[in-house]
Amino acid sequence: MVKKVLVLGAGMVSKPLVRYLLDQTGVHVTMASRTVSKAEKIINNHPRGEAVSFNIEDDDVLLKKLVKDHDVAVSLLPYIYHVKVAKQCIKHGKHLVTTSYVSKEMKDLDGEAKDTGVLLLNECGLDPGIDHMSAMRVIHEVESKSGKIISFKSTTGALPAHDSNNNPFGYKFSWSPRGVLLASRNAAKWLENGETISIPGEKLFEHYTIQDVPDVGSFENYPNRDSLPYKEIYGLKDAKTVYRGTFRMVGWCETMRSIAALGWLNDKPLKSFSGRTYGEMTKHLIKTQGDNTIEETARFLNLKTYSAIIKRLEWLGLFSDEPLPENADNPLDYLTLLMLKKMSLSKNDRDMVIMHHEFIAEYNNKKEYITSTLLDYGVPGGDTAVARTVALPAAIAVKMILQGDIKPIGVHIPVIPEIYNPILDELEKLNIRFNEKTKII
């Protein structure tokens, strides 16, 4: 009997996941999406594919039926809906895969899931996902040789490939910039040489380093949220340094720091700005009536008018006569729409994903410095590297669950060998692989 997989959502990540399941396995795939035309385009009349119209917010009866009629569900919906789907999976004895972080509400379903023999596998994408799997494989390998990890650093970046990096920001979006801009306000915590370091969101971009990734290039590396839980998640009881970061092209951090200082990340609605321009908004934010917005902004930021930062802001259009969009009412959303217009990944562009782990392993008579690096490129006109690396781990997990190769039940993330080994092995066959190097220090 043909196994059936339910895929909820038809966003950017869904295409490589669905195509893998249809092309690499014999399963039937049902895509359920609010925009059914998107799902139909991805299914592309495949004989084992089906697209249905579905709205998670008001279609509870259909959700129950869809989950009941399938063997595994994949939720690519916004994370706030995963628990709703998970509860139906538990009720009907079906497994669930997501690429999102485990929420407290999801974690609370662990007992019920175990009682009904259901696996709720979360964080099975890129970051989170491949980051966990690749790190744990090295950590467990060191431990198998009676070693211990005393330092762990992991940094990921999704960037335009060097041959598509043709704007002054060194960044392009394949989805709404709003999430990236909001993340730039996040506070950060990490462990460094036994000391906990905490950085408030407004000072995030003051704390970056320049890091060289061999054979790839030099990048800015700034801290990514709270790294402290990973000491426990990864079992790093001996680690004095635990750090997770984000890669950006050089110049990003100081530029975003300036954008924040100007007030462009403020999401409070402003009245009476209909029909005004981006230049007028910048003048309003820095409270100046001067005629030369560039000079006034440079003075406000204590920069020269010819500085690289001012030139980036000018290129973006923050001093321009371009009218503010009518479908927004606050600086953050005005900025989001401008960045989407000027900094989107085009069909001829390709992106790249870089993930770089650094470990210091200690043995009885030596120390090792281990690096593990993933570099993956998107295909112009095809799947982006981000879509591939988020989608394929989840797709592989679905296949492995259906084949009985992944057996744990309850709420899990891919940090145990029974889950990460089969997924990493299959990713390597798809040319998503890590290059590991070790040297004695």
DSSP bridge partners of 75? 8, 98
Cα distance between residue 77 and residue 57, in whole Å: 11
DSSP bridge partners of 210? 220
Q: Locate 243 and state its tokens.
A: 């750090």
Cα distance between residue 376 and residue 129, in whole Å: 15
Coil, strand or helix at 125: strand
- Which is it for the CA torsion 316, 319, 320, 326, positive or negative? positive
Q: Which residue reads 């085009």 in tokens?
A: 346
Cα distance between residue 441 and residue 358, in whole Å: 13
The Cα-based distances of 427 to 54, 139, 424 in angstroms read: 31, 19, 5
Where on the phi/psi map is residue 129: left (φ > 0), alpha (ψ -120 to 50), or beta? left
Determine which one of 127, 131, 333, 376 is catalytic: 127
Cα distance between residue 392 and residue 138, in whole Å: 21
Cα distance between residue 369 and residue 437, in whole Å: 8
* CB atoms closer than 10 angstroms to residue 424: 21
The beta strands (E) that lie in 228-303 are given as: 241-248
**Known catalytic residue at 226:** no
Cα distance between residue 35 and residue 38, in whole Å: 6
Q: Which residue reads 């997990």 in tokens?
A: 397
Which residues participate in catalysis according to the annotation? 127
